[in-house]
């Protein structure tokens, strides 16, 4: 086990009706004037925005609305938000929505007190030293952004997705009402489930030895997510299953599953190129295609941990080689993704063989020519082999 620091100071307020506590919580955390960051019309239509605003009014907190954030959020909205916050003397950023609204809010939060271009942080040219406080009202579980210090934004110029992590971007509090997720369309629900599983897998697949406690926690979470996901597919109005899924999304990504171990994240990086090339593709859909492909390559070349997953999570019998055991586990994972009606291949997502050159090129442009993934070294040959399995 490696030395580590675990710090998850976000206050999670979870359950039915908790959005009505937004104003009190904002007050408790020192807000005077709030920027409400949100996406399309669904938070308006559902009445959520009105309830949040009512709660702010009751607590005597001013607010400014800032809507129109799209999935795979882009930098132009970040610039617009920074300008608005400066103009309006806003001191607190409150995204109401899913990962896109929250990630945009975080980018605005670090951009406001910085004199240069906020991209400097995401490009590694500058280090975050200050940020406005952020808190969230979560409507789409999965991104885990409500409990993490991470943000991913798409640079419109070049359509690159770039990520940033900073403790200063961790939300002060996150309001999580599972009822708000009950009207999510089936595909969005499913994308989220895949994404939270991937957040666990990226930490689970490590070469750091002697991490039994965190392995077992991760395995327990993955089993629970799949059990509850099947209930949600059968009955989208199942509050209890929605609640279990929503909370899983948070602990999948607040750092708990990554303590004491190197984390991989190669699959996420590979997926970012997929949805980066076509912003109609949901991150979760891309992951559902890439993760089994990545695992299949690893089953051949580096099977140990994939085999452990197969045995402990999918109850595959300990018979045959690690590769055989691993492949049986991957088959079961694919069966589960099929229940979620996820795409099975890049072809299904509209990619053709010649696109692989672009994917490989962009992956290594963004991540380096040879990347020491903590589980396996990624060279262009490896990346290509995995994208080809995914095709």
Residues that bind its own copies (CB under 8 A): 1-18, 209-221, 223-225, 227-228, 240-241, 243-244, 247-248, 251, 256, 259-260
Least separation, in Å, of the C-beta of 28 and its own copies?
12
Tell me the β-bridge partners of 154: 74, 161
Minimum gap (Å) between residue 377 Cβ and its own copies: 25
Nearer to its own copies (CB atom), residue 186 or residue 213: 213
Q: Closer to its own copies at the Cβ: 276 or 329?
A: 329
Cβ-based nearer residue to its own copies, 8 or 187: 8
Nearest-approach distance from CB 327 to its own copies, in angstroms: 24
> CA dist 81 to 93, 95, 97, 104, Å?
10, 12, 16, 9
**CB 241 → its own copies: shortest distance, Å?**
8
Of 21 and 384, nearer to its own copies (C-beta) is: 21
Pairing mode of beta strands 136-138, 92-97? parallel
Q: How far is CA 312 from CA 196, 305, 308, in A?
A: 18, 10, 6
Provide the token pair at 165.
Answer: 């992590």
> What are the residues whose beta carbons fall under 8 Å from the beta carbon of 106, sequence distance 6 or more?
93, 131, 134, 145, 150, 151, 164, 169
Helix (H) or strand (E) holding 210: none
- Least distance (Å) between residue 315 CB and its own copies: 11
Output 79 or 239, the one with its CB closest to its own copies: 239
Pick the closer one to its own copies by CB: 4 or 338. 4
| The residue to which tokens 């750092």 are assigned | 255
Closest distance of CB 255 from its own copies, Å: 10
Q: Nearest approach, Cβ of 202 to its own copies (angstroms)? A: 18
2 phi and psi angles, rounded to 5 deg:
-80, 155
Which C-beta is closer to its own copies: that of 117 or that of 238? Answer: 238
**Comparing C-alpha atoms, which of 239, 340, 275 is closest to residue 99?**
275
Residue 175 vs residues 135, 172, 191, 206, 365: alpha-carbon distances, Å = 8, 10, 21, 32, 38
Residue 181 or 244 with smaller CB distance to its own copies: 244
Angle between helices 186-204 and 212-234 (to 10 degrees): 170
Least Cβ distance, residue 171 to its own copies (angstroms): 12
> Which C-beta is closer to its own copies: that of 251 or that of 299?
251
Measured distance CA(181)–CA(194) in Å, rounded: 16
Cα–Cα distance, 78 to 25 (Å, whole number)? 25
Structure token pair of residue 193: 């489930």
Report the nearest approach of its own copies to the CB of residue 14 (Å): 5
Which alpha helices (H) appear in 205-265, and where do they start and end? 212-234, 239-251
341: burial class by Cβ within 10 Å (0-12, 13-18, 19+)? exposed
Contacts of residue 259, defined as CB under 8 A and 6 or more positions apart, other chains included, come to: 4, 6, 214
With the C-alpha atoms ordered 169, 173, 175, 181, is the resulting torsion angle positive or negative? positive
14 vs 114 by CB, closer to its own copies: 14
**φ, ψ at 379 (rounded to 5°):** -105, 170
Number of residues in the chain: 391
Q: Please, what is the minimum distance in Å from the beta carbon of residue 388 to its own copies?
A: 35
């Amino acid at each position: 086990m490696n030395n580590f620091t675990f710090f998850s100071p976000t206050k999670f307020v979870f359950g039915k009706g908790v959005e009505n506590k937004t104003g009190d919580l904002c007050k408790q955390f020192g807000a005077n004037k709030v920027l409400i960051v949100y996406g399309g019309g669904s938070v308006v239509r559902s009445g959520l925005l009105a309830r949040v605003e009512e709660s702010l009014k009751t607590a005597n907190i001013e607010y400014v609305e800032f809507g129109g954030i799209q999935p795979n959020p882009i930098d132009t909205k970040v610039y617009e938000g920074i300008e608005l916050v400066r103009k309006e003397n806003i001191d607190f950023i409150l995204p109401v929505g899913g990962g896109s609204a929250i990630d945009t809010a975080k980018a605005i939060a670090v951009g406001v007190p910085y004199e240069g271009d906020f991209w400097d942080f995401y490009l590694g040219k500058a280090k975050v030293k200050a940020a406005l406080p952020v808190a969230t009202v979560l409507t789409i579980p999965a991104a885990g952004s409500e409990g993490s210090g991470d943000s991913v934004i798409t640079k419109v110029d070049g359509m690159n997705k770039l990520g940033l992590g900073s403790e200063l971007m961790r939300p002060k509090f996150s309001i999580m009402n599972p009822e708000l997720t009950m009207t999510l369309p089936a595909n969005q629900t499913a994308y989220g489930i895949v994404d939270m599983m991937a957040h666990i897998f990226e930490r689970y697949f490590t070469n750091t030895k002697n991490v039994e406690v965190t392995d077992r926690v991760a395995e327990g979470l993955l089993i629970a997510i799949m059990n509850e996901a099947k209930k949600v597919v059968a009955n989208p109005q199942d509050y209890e299953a929605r609640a279990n899924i929503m909370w899983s999304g948070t602990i999948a990504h607040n750092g708990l599953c990554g303590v004491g171990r190197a984390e991989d994240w190669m699959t996420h990086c590979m997926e970012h190129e997929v949805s980066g090339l076509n912003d109609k593709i949901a991150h979760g859909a891309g992951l559902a295609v890439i993760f089994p492909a990545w695992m299949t390559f690893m089953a051949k070349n580096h099977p140990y941990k994939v085999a452990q997953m197969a045995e402990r999570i999918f109850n595959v019998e300990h018979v045959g080689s690690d590769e055989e055991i691993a492949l049986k586990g991957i088959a079961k994972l694919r069966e589960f993704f099929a229940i979620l009606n996820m795409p099975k291949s890049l072809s299904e997502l509209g990619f053709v063989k010649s696109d692989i050159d672009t994917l490989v090129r962009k992956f290594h442009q963004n991540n380096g020519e040879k990347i020491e993934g903590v589980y396996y070294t990624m060279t262009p040959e490896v990346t290509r082999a995995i994208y080809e399995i995914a095709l």
